[in-house]
Amino acid sequence: MATGRDRAVLQSIFHPDTPFAELSGEEEEEEEEEEGQAEDASDPRLVEEAKRLEIEGVRAAEARNLDGALESFGRAIQLLPERASAYNNRAQAFRLKGDVASALEDLETVLELSRGAGPVARQGFVQRGLIRRLEGREEEARRDFEEAARLGSSFARQQLVRMNPYAALCNQMLSEVMKQLRVRETPREEAGGRG
């Protein structure tokens, strides 16, 4: 498993328009607990090696070495094919490389292995929603963001607001009203400040 810092770096690389670290300490503990339960049946040495390979992949991605990242994530998957987080990380690297079909395939595996629950599924739904939105598949993207939001993603909730045409219209109108109020307030402040 990657460290909190590694996840934050990956988040900033793969999703530059998201908050630097969406995971709070509570969510991180939840993720560690969930992964620990899923790995109870696995050989601890294999788990440690898979985690090391994922961290290696994260560092390669941080250095913009996507081929190296894909290789590390692929080795982690070969070692423990039931470990969803490696597929999630590899999907991000595939997406950055422009291989959307492979990214979507890995995200389907993530959602299947995680059974659509928990932090890894939350991230998988967000990633798939982003890809679908870029492809113009708005309704499918909305469903993915709704699932991610249900699992606690603040980024997915932000995306749902942005996708809501009524919310966008209200935000635009509110922005215009605030701008007009600032324009009206400025002359008064200047006049009051001169006296």
4-163: CATH topology is 1.25.40
Percent of the chain with pLDDT over 90: 59
Mean pLDDT check: name the lowest of 19-28, 48-57, 99-108, 177-186.
19-28
Residues of 113-150 as b/e, b for ≥16 C-beta within 10 angstroms? bbeeebbbbbbbbbbbbbbbbeeeeeeebbebbbbbbe
Q: pTM for the whole thing?
A: 0.68
Mean pLDDT check: name the lowest of 68-77, 85-94, 96-105, 156-165.
156-165
Q: pLDDT (tens digit, 9 = 90+) per residue, 125-153? A: 999 999 999 999 999 999 999 999 999 99
**Both structure tokens of 137:** 């598949």
Q: pLDDT (tens digit, 9 = 90+) per residue, 79-96? A: 999 999 999 999 999 999
**Both structure tokens of 39:** 């790995």
Boundaries of every domain in the chain? 4-163, 169-195
Phi, psi of 194 (to 5 degrees): -85, -25
Find out whether 21 and 11 touch, Cβ atoms under 8 Å.
yes
Place of tokens 């991610």: 148
